[in-house]
Amino acid sequence: MKTISRVLVANRGEIAVRIIRACRGLGVEAVVAVSEADRESLAAKISDRAVCIGPAPSIRSYLDINTLISAALGTGAEAVHPGYGFLAEQPGLPEACKQNGLIFIGPTAENIRQMGDKLMARKVALESCVPTIPGSVLVSNYDEAQSAAQEVGFPLLLKAAAGGGGKGIKIITNAAEMAGGFETASAEARQAFGDDRLYIEKFIPNARHIEVQIIGDRQGNVIHLGERDCSLQRRHQKLVEETPCPVIDTKLREEVCQAAVEVARHIHYENVGTVEFLFDQDNRSFYFLEMNTRVQVEHPITEMVTGVDLVQEGIRVAGGSPLSLTQADIKNIGHAIECRINAEVPEEGFRPSPGRIERWVPPRCQGLRIDSHCYAGYFVPPYYDSLIAKVITHGADRDQALMLMRYALANFEVSGIGTTIPFLKTLLETPDFIKSHINTKWVEEVFYNNGEPS
């Protein structure tokens, strides 16, 4: 077991602020790595120390492993927390940490490799006796893809083996679309991941996206903290998340959560992670989709219903401590919803809207949490992800959580930049969402077709 007294936060935005506050709660110093564009960020203001790691482009700052390791060593940090995005799921960072005597607050490099490659992850799920979506092994060219497609059947998905974040995915509805789809998906995968390998999965039209929060320690203990429903998406990007999933019963909930634990145990997973599943609403079956080997954007809703600080637990586990909780300790109480607020203009095709925030007045009430790095006068830079806040509500049931969310969105005052708040307000008022009659394609195929902005 190693004592962690100082952490380098190797990220920016709201997750950097979240990690800093978790460190403070443990009595751990937080040093934040900032690019030149983030010198005046909230993370820089509230950290114990901020160290500049390079110019604004992430390839020269937040994605530079050597610079981050130098920053950690130079500031006397014992550990590095990657947050999500950037280098969080790149095995090179935990390997560099190990080589330099630093603790990586996250899973092992081997865990990241196993689950970062989607084909290898499917193999792990099969070995764990967890259902997987019907599909293929690697398809190296168009001919192989066509052959596999005949076996799997249409509609299907062409997916990047090294994929993530919704990139490198193409829906193919018939054989005539295969050639163009294969070329498009492989090109996007090559550009996004430097890896153009593809495989095929059966496309499930009426699917929900369900994920299970797990955490494991070095002693071999793995527990889950319940599931989240992340079905409300646009172009594979999540918009709204909630827990528990409104459309599964207790038996199915137990099955999917136990399946996630089995996958994590099979690879001796350490630290915080999320196992994702597709739930076929037509035949009431779930299938393993992938595993995210990091803290999720939507982790706060799990924290709201369980009372567990996932970031703090991840820091303790990284230092070698066993889990402070057993499965029996986890009690999921009430319902929580999260809305992601982006600096975008929905009516203009979700055009990014960087710029100076003139007014920033978040709502306040019981059962409401705002995770953000923004403040009045802050300049939202154009170089990074457009997420500026997460609004999280917790109620005794879904109706109460939704009522609180409507109040929060109606009373969130922001000016100087465009935001997705008006879009989300409309989304949450639709009868389909209120009744939870949605799937992963609902926003694009139903909501937009009713005349809303695309």
Distance from C-alpha of 28 to C-alpha of 412, rounded to nearest angstrom: 32
Question: Taking a C-beta distance cutoff of 8 angstroms, is the pair 62, 55 a contact?
Answer: no
Give CA angle at 170 (166, 174), nearest 5°: 155
Distance from C-alpha of 207 to C-alpha of 160, rounded to nearest angstrom: 20
Instruction: Select which of 12, 122, 234, 294 is catalytic.
Output: 294
Query: Distance of alpha carbon 439 from its chain centroid, rounded?
Result: 18
What is the token pair recorded at 397? Answer: 């049931």
Question: Taking a C-beta distance cutoff of 8 angstroms, is the pair 172, 157 a contact?
Answer: yes
- DSSP run (H or E) holding 391: strand 387-395
Q: 256: closest CA among 215, 284, 297?
A: 284
User: Which alpha helices (H) appear in 27-87, and where do they start and end?
Assistant: 42-46, 65-74
Question: Taking a C-beta distance cutoff of 8 angstroms, is the pair 332, 257 a contact?
Answer: no
| 265 assigned to active site | no
Output b/e per residue, 412-433; b: 16+ Cβ within 10 A: bebebbbbbbebbbebbebeeb
Please give the positions annotated as active site.
294
